[in-house]
């Protein structure tokens, strides 16, 4: 329906033609349409030979989200914006970041030495697919190494800008370890102590503008 212009104007469609496109029965196609109308994604009125359907704003929003996610997966998108709330981490970030094997690579590849701690943002549920999209981008590779009899794994960096209200800090990067406990949390590093820089506390909202093409 969207391909026929349904996001811009009403389109005529029959249950029979829809059933053929979806490879389902006519009854199933009709049921799908009714469900989409009931959920507010479509508006329809009966017409000769079928129905006239308009994709509503709620449906357009779903299509835009899917389009954005496909762009991330296939590398068509160079920037992405995530929203989350600040929370206190377990303290592991500072431990790992402080290791010489990582710190030397941070300085070499970012041009600055990060504060020994991460700024953790918990994302809303609908933002989580963006994390996978980010991981599909190239990023800046931080090689793993061995130190003190331990193996420290690879990680990837994505340069970003951190925003809270009218204040922003541009010298930041999202760090994405190869292995992580977190599914809805992103960790940001910066040469400055970001909590002090923003005067921030747990629960404060932030926007992270990530540059997927800047490596």
Give the pLDDT of the chain (215 residues) as one tens digit per residue: 888 888 888 899 888 988 998 999 999 999 999 999 999 999 999 888 888 999 999 999 888 878 777 776 676 567 889 999 999 988 888 888 999 999 999 999 999 999 999 999 999 877 887 887 788 777 899 999 998 888 999 999 999 999 999 999 999 999 998 766 567 899 999 999 999 999 999 999 999 999 887 65
Determine the pLDDT at residue 73: 67
Of 138, 122, 126, 41, residue with least CA distance to 85: 122
Determine the pLDDT at residue 214: 60
Determine the pLDDT at residue 9: 86
CATH topology of domain 11-55: Arc Repressor Mutant, subunit A (1.10.10)
Please answer whether residues 158 and 134 qualify as being in contact, where contact means their C-beta atoms are separated by less than 8 angstroms: yes
Same fold, 11-55 and 77-211: no
Determine the pLDDT at residue 144: 93
Of 27, 17, 23, 26, residue with least CA distance to 53: 17
CATH topology of domain 77-211: Elongation Factor Tu (Ef-tu); domain 3 (2.40.30)
Q: What is the largest CA-CA distance in the chain?
A: 77
Distance CA 107, CA 87 (A): 26
Q: How many CB atoms lie within 10 A of CB 85?
A: 14
Determine the pLDDT at residue 31: 92
For the chain, the structural domain boundaries read 11-55, 77-211
Pick left, alpha or beta for residue 168 (phi over 0 → left; psi -120 to 50 → alpha; otherwise beta).
beta
């Amino acid at each position: 329906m969207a391909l026929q212009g349904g996001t811009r104007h009403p389109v005529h469609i029959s249950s029979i033609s829809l059933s053929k496109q979806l490879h389902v029965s006519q009854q199933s196609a009709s049921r799908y349409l009714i469900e989409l109308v009931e959920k507010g994604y479509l508006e329809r009125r009966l017409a000769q030979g079928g129905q006239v359907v308009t994709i509503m704003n709620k449906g357009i929003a779903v299509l835009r989200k899917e389009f954005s996610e496909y762009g991330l997966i296939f590398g068509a998108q160079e920037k992405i914006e995530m929203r989350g709330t600040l929370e206190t981490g377990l303290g592991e970030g500072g431990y790992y970041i402080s290791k010489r094997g990582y710190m030397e690579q941070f300085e070499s590849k970012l041009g600055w030495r990060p504060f020994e701690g991460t700024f953790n943002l918990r994302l809303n549920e609908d933002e989580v697919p963006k994390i996978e999209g980010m991981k599909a981008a190239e990023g800046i590779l931080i090689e793993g190494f061995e130190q003190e009899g331990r193996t420290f794994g690879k990680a990837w960096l994505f340069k970003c800008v951190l925003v809270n209200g009218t204040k922003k800090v541009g010298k930041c990067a999202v760090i994405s370890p190869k292995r992580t406990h977190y599914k809805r949390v992103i960790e940001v590093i910066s040469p400055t102590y970001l909590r002090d820089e923003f005067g921030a506390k747990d629960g404060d909202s932030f926007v992270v503008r990530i540059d997927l093409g800047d490596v």
